[in-house]
Chains A and B, each alone.
Chain A
């Protein structure tokens, strides 16, 4: 697949794909005989992974380090796992923050519901008095 096709498939731009490759978020992409990028299945899997991790907030530094270690082979498995564990911990913290905010928001909405119900009840009572 050429760069435009890959960009379209993952709703990215060709510039973003070049950037991913340049800063090491994906390994060097295969080239065809005239020098244009020709993404293999493996290259495409890396694009999908990079997009997913970046959307989740993984830093350029951590992700490029992970990719570089991956390319060094099995001797780096423990180090790679640690990067993913660190990322998991960061995401768990974000999730916990989000959950706390969600809980607070739900409580606030419930409060509004009881206020509205009370207001409607009073309105009805006033009408009956008239």
Chain B
């Protein structure tokens, strides 16, 4: 079955623009309006849009803004603790201003309920992918509670390419319960890489994998304009 994907945005329970396959206008709407919900409609392309509205799969992504994230209870949050620790540590390195990237990765880790260890590891990997000069010092970021696998996992994450693999044949999924959280962190890393390109022409919503990443589109747009 060949699939077709449409996107739109909703406000006050109503579509504010027609369903469309290109995500550019949707991003503009998310940039402009608050309280907007991103919606995705997916189904067999042999059906008309009218039919898909009835029988297609509908996905609703309520957007989290920077205000929502910052206004949440921050005291004692393991996620923000990891972010602040890393921000302090990064001051020792010549980097571009990446506070926005740190907060975006933290917000995604929080949404995915990643452990403290993988939250820190994810943020380090994401910041390193944006600042290749950190590669030589990557060992500085190893933590005492990391095992050999954690270290190899971080090094694998920051090895290019950063985007998710493209499957031209039926994808075969094998999950090892022991590594479920690592797999989630890897997908989060690939999605963060895509979100970091949100202001660029090559960005497409189709490349995002996790529901939680779709919920951070508005925040990614805000981060880009606040932390230029």
Binding site for B on A (CB under 8 A): 2-3, 13-16, 18-20, 22-23, 35-37, 54
Contacts and interface: CB of A to CB of B under 8 A. Distances in A.
Contacts of A14: 50, 53-54
A52 to B, nearest CB: 13
Contact of A19 (B13, B50, B51): B13
Contact of B54 (A20, A22, A36, A54): A36
Contacts of A35: 55
B10 A19 contact: yes
B114 to A, nearest CB: 24
B152 interface: no
A3 B54 contact: yes
Contacts of B60: 19, 22-23
A3 B56 CA distance: 13
Contacts of A13: 14-15
Contact of A16 (B13, B51, B55, B59): B13
A59 B212 CA distance: 21
Contacts of A37: 54-55
Given A16-B13, A16-B14, A54-B13, A22 B53 contact: no
A13 B54 CA distance: 11
B39 interface: yes
18 contacts: A2-B54, A3-B53, A13-B14, A15-B8, A15-B10, A15-B53, A16-B13, A16-B14, A18-B53, A18-B54, A18-B58, A19-B10, A19-B39, A20-B13, A22-B58, A23-B60, A35-B55, A54-B13
Interface of B: 8, 10, 13-15, 39, 50-51, 53-55, 58-60
Given A14-B53, A16-B13, A36-B55, 5 more contacts: A15-B14, A19-B58, A22-B58, A36-B54, A54-B13
Contacts of B55: 35-37
A54 B12 CA distance: 9
Nearest to B60: A22
A59 to B, nearest CB: 12
Q: Tell which of A15, A16, A23, A35 has the most Cβ of chain B within 10 Å.
A: A15
B128 to A, nearest CB: 38
B15 A15 contact: yes
The 7 closest A-B pairs by CB, nearest first: A14-B53, A22-B58, A15-B15, A18-B58, A3-B54, A35-B55, A16-B13
Nearest to A16: B13
Contacts of A23: 60
A114 to B, nearest CB: 41
A105 to B, nearest CB: 26
A3 B58 CA distance: 15
B31 to A, nearest CB: 22
Contacts of A2: 54
A26 B222 CA distance: 33
Contacts of B50: 14
Nearest to B57: A22
A104 B133 CA distance: 65
Q: Tell which of A16, A19, A35, A54 has the most Cβ of chain B within 10 Å.
A: A19
Contacts of B58: 18-19, 22
A37 B39 CA distance: 19
